[in-house]
Amino acid sequence: MSGTLRAGRRYPAPVPDHHAAAWYPTPELLTDSNVGRFMTAHGCTDFEALRQRSIDEPEWFWNAFIEFVGLPFTTPYTAVVDESRGIEWATWFTDGRLNVAAVCVDRWADDPTRRDVPAILWEGEDGEPRSVTYAELRVMTDAIAGGLAARGVGEGDAVGVFLPMLPETVATVMAVAKLGAIFLPIFSGYGAEAVAVRLEQGDATALVTADGTTRRGKVIPMKETADAAVAMVPSVQTVVVVARLGGDVAMTAGRDLTLAECCALAPTRRYDTPPFDAEHPLFVAYTSGTTGKPKGVVHVHGGFVVKIAAEVGLQADCRSFATGGDRDDVLFWLTDLGWIMGPWQIFGTLAMGATMFCYDGAPDYPGPDRLWSMVERHRITILGVSPTLIRALMAKGDDPVRAHDLSSLRVLGSTGEPWNEGPWWWYFNEVGGGRCPVINVSGGTEVGCFLAPHVVEPIAPCSLGGPALGCAVDVVDDDCQPVRGVVGELVCRKPWPAMTRGMWKEPERYLETYWSRWPGVWWHGDWASIDADGQWFLHGRSDDTIKLAGKRLGPAEVETALVEHPDVVEAAAIGIPDELKGETLACFVVLAPGTHETDALRADLRERVGDALGKSFLPSAVWFTSALPKTRSNKIMRRTIRAVTLGQDPGDVSGLEDTAALDAIGEAR
């Protein structure tokens, strides 16, 4: 295929003009869904008209949403948004005061009709289930808040949260919010150095961790890792240990407390929740990369909870009787607190008054049906996963899915990587029975969600629908001019409530990273396209771009061609330096079980890429590997693959699910 020239830059080939919808909303969804009820309340009969109005009139939309779900501000705001310091430093809900712990926990615990509703359903890898009501969550939250306060943690202090997904994890982040302190979410699989870097950069004074957890039946000694990390960070004076496994761990006198000991320090059973300014910091999420130190992304009480509640409520259609819905949904996003989807699930689900399910363990352990068995067992209604995970589970066959009753599901979610059609259809048909919309969302740690389909609009395979409500996103060329029908850069032209308030103590880095390419326009770093029907699609990170003889290629297009081969489970495409062409295309593929590595298969895969993208995009190499390096959130780390291939320093690999995958890449060549 030939490329299309735009502003001196060669983009990939034009996207197809038409993507037929695979799913259409039912009459019930048009009236009973949250977004359907919102439209009715505001006299909207056309969703696209609502989407456009939310973009054109963001102050109207965000105020209307807050009123629609009754998000409580202790002190009302006097203005929705203030851009007096420029779009880069926009603030929201001027003069308003609230506390996300009151929004998400206290108001439901204090409501006699809601206090006994499960806030959290949980299961561990060993099968142990737990249920925590809103009333019980408040008791736990208040006790942790009181105990941390007794240890000197207060407003503005930072608390590291190095925990797997547990009910105590939810209570801890809510307790920190109650205090007006700032929580630092840390991936539960990090090593000591990665934990220490985040504690040090966040100026943490306390850390909450677990004695350990399990992954595929193997004990992960989290307290041991925490001790090694804290030894490098003298500012941490308190370590609280949750008894996840119940084993004996080393405790440092004067510094370490069990969770029970911490809670026993609370002077009273109830901890009254003080309100804070809407712009008061809530948490700092550190993103990792292959080079440079992690970026500390700052989120605040008001903007984050309002935007995330809108995403969970209007995009995922998470309903509860508490916020005017006709059911109490159970939402499960397979995530870790260290991925933005962890806070997303916690704050969004609980702000809507629904039930969140969380799991501590591997989704295919001890068998390939583990995820589906949990959906059946806990009657999960909204399920969110990554496309990469679906590709891996799809390789296990249909039987593990069909062995379980998944009739409780009504909405499927996804994020993390671009889809290709084969796995998307499998998710839609085998998991959702062809009756559940796939709400494929895209955004980031820094922004919340930018793109999403909604349950009241037709959805095409792999599509992201369109702009999230209230987000003025666009696809542009190198001159920041809108482009349609070709791949361009994803940008946002107006502020939105969940935009990061900068990088922790690095304002210039924030401006350089997101605002320097085009003044007054947020540059997101994703490749996207909009087809003739207005459907939006992602094509991968623009910094993963492969440059072949002047032509730019997104890895997702190559990987899509490869994984559509019946013998390929996963694939990763990278560019490697070439004196003549600048770069050549190299591919790593994981084969289906029982498939043999042959030169004929390698040649077939090369030809498949050439047939799909054009002969000028033929891979120079196709290597077979047993695994691809991925994060706990199932994102393929392509830049790490490239570094290992070239014999370079892979950079920060602390977020890897399994570092043995790096060895597999090295051995594949």
Tokens of 521: 């326009």
Over the chain (669 residues), the average pLDDT of each successive run of 10 is 28 48 95 98 96 98 98 98 98 98 98 98 95 98 98 98 98 98 94 92 97 94 97 98 95 98 96 98 81 84 98 98 97 95 98 98 96 98 94 93 98 91 95 98 95 96 96 96 93 98 95 95 93 88 72 78 91 86 89 93 93 84 93 79 88 74 88
Residue 351 inside a domain? The answer is no
DSSP per-residue codes, 298-357? EEEHHHHHHHHHHIIIIIS----GGGT-SS--EEEE---TTSTHHHHHHHHHHHTT-EEE
Residue 565 inside a domain? The answer is yes
Length of the chain, in residues:
669
Taking the C-alpha atoms of residue 486 and residue 637, their distance in angstroms, rounded to an integer, is 26
Taking the C-alpha atoms of residue 12 and residue 418, their distance in angstroms, rounded to an integer, is 16
- Burial label for 616, CB within 10 Å (0-12, 13-18, 19+), is middle
Which residues, listed in sequence order, are joined to residue 35 by a DSSP beta bridge? none
152: containing domain: 133-277
Residue 209 inside a domain? The answer is yes
Looking at residue 288, what is its pLDDT? 62
The strand pair at 330-333 and 382-385 is best described as parallel
Q: Which of 242, 219, 215 is nearest to 125 (CA)?
A: 215
Looking at residue 6, what is its pLDDT? 28
Residue 11 inside a domain? The answer is no
Domain count for the chain, please give it.
Answer: 2
Tokens of 57: 């009139």
Q: Which of 130, 134, 111 is nearest to 121 (CA)?
A: 130
Q: Find out whether the peptide bond into 366 is cis, omega within 30 degrees of 0.
A: yes
Instruction: Out of 277, 306, 341, pick the residue that ends a domain.
Output: 277
Residue 67 CB contacts under 8 Å (≥ 6 apart), including other chains: none
Residue 646 CB contacts under 8 Å (≥ 6 apart), including other chains: 576, 577
Q: Which of 630, 279, 633 is nearest to 444 (CA)?
A: 633
Q: Which of 462, 465, 443 is nearest to 452 (CA)?
A: 465
- How far apart, in Å, do the first and last CA atoms of the chain sit? 29
Looking at residue 173, what is its pLDDT? 98
Residue 352 inside a domain? The answer is no
Element spanning 254, H or E: none
Measured CA distances, 214 to 125, 430, 539, 629 (Å): 7, 29, 35, 20
Looking at residue 549, what is its pLDDT? 60
Residue 235 inside a domain? The answer is yes
The strand pair at 582-591 and 621-624 is best described as parallel
Give 389-416 pLDDT, tens digit per residue: 998 899 899 999 999 999 999 999 999 8
Residue labelled with tokens 């993963």? 544
Residue 648 CB contacts under 8 Å (≥ 6 apart), including other chains: 642
Taking the C-alpha atoms of residue 139 and residue 143, their distance in angstroms, rounded to an integer, is 6
- ∠ CA 62-66-70, nearest 5°, is 170
pTM greater than the 0.85 cutoff: yes
What single DSSP character describes residue 542?
Answer: G
525 SS3 class: strand
Taking the C-alpha atoms of residue 371 and residue 431, their distance in angstroms, rounded to an integer, is 11
- In the chain, DSSP finds a helix count (H) and a strand count (E) of 22, 34
Q: Domain with 611 in it: what CATH number?
A: 3.30.300.30
Residue 174 inside a domain? The answer is yes
Element spanning 659, H or E: none
Residue 266 inside a domain? The answer is yes
Element spanning 208, H or E: strand 204-210
Q: Domain with 193 in it: what CATH number?
A: 3.40.50.980
Q: Measured over all CA atoms, what is the biggest interatomic distance in the chain, rounded to whole angstroms?
A: 72
Contact predicate 325/111, CB 8 Å? no
Taking the C-alpha atoms of residue 576 and residue 582, their distance in angstroms, rounded to an integer, is 8
Q: Which of 503, 419, 429 is nearest to 19 (CA)?
A: 419
Looking at residue 216, what is its pLDDT? 92
Give 256-275 pLDDT, tens digit per residue: 999 999 999 999 999 999 99
* Helices of type H across 614-658: 638-645
Instruction: Out of 217, 244, 277, pick the residue that ends a domain.
Output: 277
Contact predicate 388/570, CB 8 Å? yes
Instruction: Out of 227, 251, 277, pick the residue that ends a domain.
Output: 277
